[in-house]
Amino acid sequence: MKRHNQNEIMSSLRAMTLFRGIYRRVAKRLDIDPSYVSRVARGERRAAFVTEALKKEIHRAMEKARLLDGRSVPVTSQRSRV
């Protein structure tokens, strides 16, 4: 069983809190209803401006959680295996 260190756990919790409320944040920024953002995200509706705003917000959240490096590339673990 793999043991997670405290830094990994805290990083995961931070990432989860950044993604919580993403539809609400996008809806507020675009001055639309969060349920519409949710429907666009699920593919029930199409709206390019909502899709683009969602992409930007997800990217911002991933950068804040340090899940992306500065080049929009996912950060991978560089630990060596023992």
CA nearest to 31, candidates 46, 56, 53 = 53
Q: Let me know if residue 52 belongs to a domain.
A: yes
Tell me the pLDDT tens digit for each residue of 49-70.
999 999 999 888 888 777 655 5
1 compared with 24, residue with greater pLDDT: 24
CA distances from 82 to 1, 2, 9, 38 (A): 14, 12, 21, 43
* Number of domain units in the chain: 1
Q: Let me know if residue 80 belongs to a domain.
A: no
Which domain range does residue 46 map to?
Answer: 7-64
Q: Let me know if residue 19 belongs to a domain.
A: yes
Using CA atoms, how far apart are residues 8 and 39, in angstroms rounded to an integer? 32
- The model carries a pTM of 0.64
Checking if the pLDDT of 38 tops 90, the result is yes
